[in-house]
């Protein structure tokens, strides 16, 4: 069960983050405002600094939450100051479809490590990479899971993105929003640098390589046990 693709745990629950930090498979972390809202967080900075008091070396991404680029930039510079292992997530556009490329270029030149997020097209990849040329380190997060949700195979795009990244050694590709553990195998097969996974998906990784006859038997046993526990009768 060895992968060249690094696994980043995706979540906003500190207990879950610390649990994953203890897992030798986990190389980093990502968060976003939606995940934070789901767990009821209200103080963004306090949460981030609390997490960073324990996560001091592994890369971790925190996202800006403005829709105006000037305010995004202010937030990005502040977030970047929280730690050397912090990457600032910048959406590829704002809600008005205005490109974040100029902002990302300014942040890169200022030495900010960025994670350009919510990307789903090769055109976006081609547009953002030159803006990251001067960055000390960066990620681009292509949401392969959401691409698949639209009925499109993400593999050709991910392969093409990897080819483009050959000219940008400081930029790594993240396979974002996976829907199943098999996506880890897919990402690994093309040499994708990173995949983000929720804790629930990470906990399924040990099923890789499992004997399918045994897996079938365990599934039958589960159905039987649950029917007995429920007290079903006919």
Distance CA 177, CA 128 (A): 20
Distance CA 146, CA 151 (A): 9
Distance CA 218, CA 212 (A): 10
Strand-strand pairing, 6-10 and 60-63: unpaired
- Per residue in 183-206, pLDDT tens? 999 999 999 999 999 999 999 999
Distance CA 149, CA 139 (A): 22
Domain architecture of the chain: domains with CATH: 6-208 (3.20.20.70)
Annotated active-site positions, please?
A: 89
Residue 1 has pLDDT above 80, yes or no: no
Given pLDDT bands bounded at 50, 70 and 90, which one contains residue 216? very high
- Per residue in 25-75, pLDDT tens? 999 999 999 999 999 999 999 999 999 999 999 999 999 999 999 999 999
Q: Can you tell me the mean pLDDT for 93-100?
A: 98
Distance CA 123, CA 164 (A): 11
Q: Can you tell me the mean pLDDT for 109-131?
A: 98
pLDDT of residue 2: 83
pLDDT of residue 230: 98
């Amino acid at each position: 069960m060895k992968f060249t693709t690094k696994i980043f745990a995706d979540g906003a629950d500190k207990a879950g983050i610390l649990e994953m930090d203890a897992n030798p498979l986990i190389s980093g972390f990502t968060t976003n405002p939606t995940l934070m809202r789901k767990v009821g967080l209200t103080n963004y900075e306090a949460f981030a600094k609390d997490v960073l008091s324990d996560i001091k070396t592994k890369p971790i991404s925190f996202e800006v939450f403005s829709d105006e680029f000037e305010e995004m930039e202010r937030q990005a510079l502040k977030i970047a100051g929280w730690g050397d292992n912090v990457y600032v997530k910048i959406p590829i556009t704002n809600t008005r479809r205005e490109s974040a490329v100029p902002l990302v270029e300014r942040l890169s030149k200022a030495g900010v490590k960025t994670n350009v997020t919510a990307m789903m097209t090769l055109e976006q990849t081609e547009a953002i990479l030159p803006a990251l040329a001067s960055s000390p380190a960066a990620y681009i997060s292509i949401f392969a899971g959401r691409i698949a949700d639209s009925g499109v195979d993400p593999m050709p795009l991910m392969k093409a993105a990897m080819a483009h990244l050959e000219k940008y050694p400081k930029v790594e590709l993240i396979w974002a929003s996976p829907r199943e553990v098999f996506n880890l195998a897919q990402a690994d097969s093309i040499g994708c640098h990173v995949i983000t996974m929720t804790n629930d998906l990470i906990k399924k990784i040990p099923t890789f390589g499992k004997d399918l006859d045994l897996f079938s038997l365990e599934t039958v046993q589960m159905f039987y046990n649950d029917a007995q526990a429920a007290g079903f009768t006919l």
